[in-house]
Structure 1
């Protein structure tokens, strides 16, 4: 399967690095999220969207900021690593954001569902919302600018490697003439 805009060995290095970093991050998330906790009691699962966030915001101050920040940052690197592992340079920004956000929502949901089997861990739908929002925010902040920079480098490399071109991008012989189509006589 050929990728759009595969730019040679540099693109392969970026894809492999993205894939390796993605696996390392997912292993770190699994270690952090799926460890059993030694607690005397466990709160009830939160299955009502935004209910837990209201409770956290009621705490106020630094504790609320810490809890919301943890939720936003846990899976945020996926916003950069998933497009990096995909390796496409020429893709719609909205399509990339949608694909990345949907994939991260599924990863977050899987982590929350796996937590049901871990002692001391409870399901919280607000964690899925915060994790997904963090991924979307990271994607919006990093990926469009990074893709633009990589596209410019790739295009600059292509134009400098083309032999016999003029500064305006044309060939030294001038423009290629076009031939009008002549219909076949009856």
Structure 2
């Protein structure tokens, strides 16, 4: 059974499966990148104050700051496109889709930061909890609304012509006429005198 507002047909299944494979591959890459132990002689302390890491990056100069902040924005940004792609729904609210996708990105970022507390050589940074979901939101806003509107227009142009009523019995569920409710006198047990 197809959900209301979802993409129909075998092309939709291929798109959703491809999105799922890409999502799993991206999550495996993120896990490898962020949760592998690093053999380093010295590790900076964890950054638990919001915006301190961003300020420190900006103090390094424009190219280095852009690289470091861009890395944190880009780490989970593909989720902004892959999560709605796997969902496969076209007729959803833009704000609701954005909120669900950013919430999933935020929870994933929080999970990564919590898991990094036990990984040698990895440093917890609260600014990643701000920048990772921002990257997810930016990617979502840049791609998903335009992609959904393109798919809706494409589906409208490919909609099949209406099938005449006489020829449309194939695949229909047979109906049974309703049976009326029995009168109360037939439903109640006989009363004793």
- Deviations 1:124-174 (Å, cap 9, x if unpaired)? 01012111100100000000000000010111111xx2148xxxxxxxxxx
Counterpart residue number, 2:5: 5
* Largest Rg, 1 or 2: 2
Q: CA separation in 1, counterparts of 2:64 and 2:77? A: 20
Counterpart residue number, 1:28: 29
Question: What is the CA RMSD across the aligned residues, in angstroms?
Answer: 1.5
Counterpart residue number, 1:89: 90
Q: What TM-score, normalized to structure 1?
A: 0.83
Q: CA separation in 2, counterparts of 1:109 and 1:28? A: 17
Q: CA separation in 1, counterparts of 2:12 and 2:137? A: 23
Counterpart residue number, 1:62: 63
Counterpart residue number, 1:37: 38
Matches within 5 A, 1:126-165: 126-158=127-159, 161-163=160-162
Instruction: Using the TM superposition, give the Cα deviation of residue 5 of structure 1 relative to its aligned residue in structure 2, in angstroms.
Output: 2.3
Instruction: Using the TM superposition, give the Cα deviation of residue 3 of structure 1 relative to its aligned residue in structure 2, in angstroms.
Output: 2.1
Contiguous gaps of at least 5 residues in structure 2: 164-193
Q: 2:32 matched to 1:19? A: no
Contiguous gaps of at least 5 residues in structure 1: 165-186
Counterpart residue number, 2:175: none
Q: CA separation in 2, counterparts of 1:4 and 1:80? A: 21
Q: CA separation in 1, counterparts of 2:57 and 2:2? A: 47
Instruction: Using the TM superposition, give the Cα deviation of residue 4 of structure 1 relative to its aligned residue in structure 2, in angstroms.
Output: 2.4
Aligned length: 163
- Deviations 1:91-120 (Å, cap 9, x if unpaired)? 000000000000000011111111111101
Counterpart residue number, 2:187: none
Q: Which runs of 4+ in 1 moved over 4 A?
A: none
